[in-house]
Amino acid sequence: MVYAPDAFLPMTQTSIRNAMTIDVEDYFQVSAFAPYIARERWESIPCRVESNVDRILALLDEEGTKATFFTLGWIADRYPAMVSRIVSNGHELASHGWAHYRVSDQNPDEFREDILRSKAILEDIGGQAVLGYRAPSFSIGRHNQWALDLLEEAGYRYSSSIYPVRHDHYGIPDAPRFAYYPRGSGLLELPITTMRLFRQNIPAGGGGYFRLWPYPVSKWFLKRLNQLEQRSAIFYFHPWEIDHQQPRQKGISMKTRFRHYYNLHRMEKRIKALTRDFNWNRMDRVFLD
């Protein structure tokens, strides 16, 4: 990694609040496993999400960090007590859709039903308005932005679904890096954080890239964003990423194996460091207040 001249800026306290987010899904529900694990099997697979979310809640509580939990309706329906704990701990509850269907695999009617159904169950369990939505696998792209209109119609106030990077499964590389209103709508789009280096957007806001980069690199990315660009970061991870003892899937491709399992054993320690090194809060409090 080649560092810019300001790479060694001292870490100073900043008043900028960053948004910590968790995509609540279980390990067998990720899009990369869809060719290997049929949805019909989900009901028969032991879930690990509840214990992992409880570990995350404890981790966040250690530093007094509040976060936004983008939660699948399928999960909320089966673990309402877990959802209640998320809310009672002061975190924001937001939608990740019903059953991790990519938006790009749905037509408008299917998508409308999906976002209304997930919003309804989360609000029923959580007892608070659900304002945010994140598409599974950031699957709102150039060709299905009609989904943003439907989100606004359904009562959502923001989306975090368009990733301004180049990736083999998602992304709009030339989309804005920071909060904007697409299509002239009243729905605020909040992209995952990227760093502009070498004339391209480098992922800097979590997921597999956070496990790939050494922690000092991720720390430098976020420090630069806060101190030089004076912008709030949006970071995300999944409960299964702190679970290095999850069952290993057989027959998956080498690329999928690397992306899913690399550095899982280091993830929890890195998240703890992140909560100490930066100022975090919920999406609604960072961007809607």
The residue written with tokens 């990423």 in the block is: 241
Question: 211-223, pLDDT tens digit by residue?
Answer: 999 999 999 999 9
Question: 230-274, pLDDT tens digit by residue?
Answer: 999 999 999 999 999 999 999 999 999 999 999 999 999 999 999
Tell me the mean pLDDT in the region 74-99.
98
Tell me the mean pLDDT in the region 84-98.
98
pLDDT band at 13 (very low <50, low <70, confident <90, very high): very low
251 burial class (0-12, 13-18, 19+ CB within 10 angstroms)?
Answer: exposed
Predicted structure pTM score? 0.93
pLDDT at 289: 83
Q: Which domain holds residue 282?
A: 18-287
Q: Is residue 115 part of a domain?
A: yes
pLDDT at 185: 85
pLDDT band at 25 (very low <50, low <70, confident <90, very high): very high
Q: Is residue 209 part of a domain?
A: yes
Q: Is residue 11 part of a domain?
A: no
The dihedral through the CA atoms of 163, 186, 119, 83 has a sign that is positive
pLDDT at 192: 96
Choose among 87, 180, 71: nearest CA to 136. 71
Tell me the mean pLDDT in the region 226-233.
97
Q: Is residue 5 part of a domain?
A: no
pLDDT at 14: 58
Q: Is residue 109 part of a domain?
A: yes
For residue 65, give the amino acid letter.
T
Tell me the mean pLDDT in the region 65-79.
98
197 burial class (0-12, 13-18, 19+ CB within 10 angstroms)?
Answer: middle
Produce one character per residue of 7-36: b if its CB has 16 or more CB atoms within 10 Å, e if not.
eeeeeeeeebbbbbbbbbbbbbbbbbebee
Cα-flanking dihedrals φ and ψ of residue 14, to 5°?
-130, 145
**CATH code for the domain in which residue 237 is found:** 3.20.20.370
10: pLDDT strictly greater than 80: no
pLDDT at 274: 97
Produce one character per residue of 64-74: b if its CB has 16 or more CB atoms within 10 Å, e if not.
ebbbbbbbbbb
Q: Is residue 6 part of a domain?
A: no
105: pLDDT strictly greater than 80: yes
- The number of domains in the chain is 1
Beta bridge partners, 130, equal none
Report how far residue 289's alpha carbon sits from residue 286's, in angstroms, rounded to the nearest whole number: 7
Q: Is residue 13 part of a domain?
A: no
pLDDT band at 168 (very low <50, low <70, confident <90, very high): low
Beta bridge partners, 71, equal 24, 95
Alpha-helical runs (H) found in 127-197: 146-153
Residues 6+ apart with CB under 8 A from 196: 177, 202
pLDDT at 3: 31
Q: Is residue 191 part of a domain?
A: yes
Are the C-beta atoms of residues 87 and 123 closer than 8 Å to each other?
A: no
pLDDT band at 183 (very low <50, low <70, confident <90, very high): confident
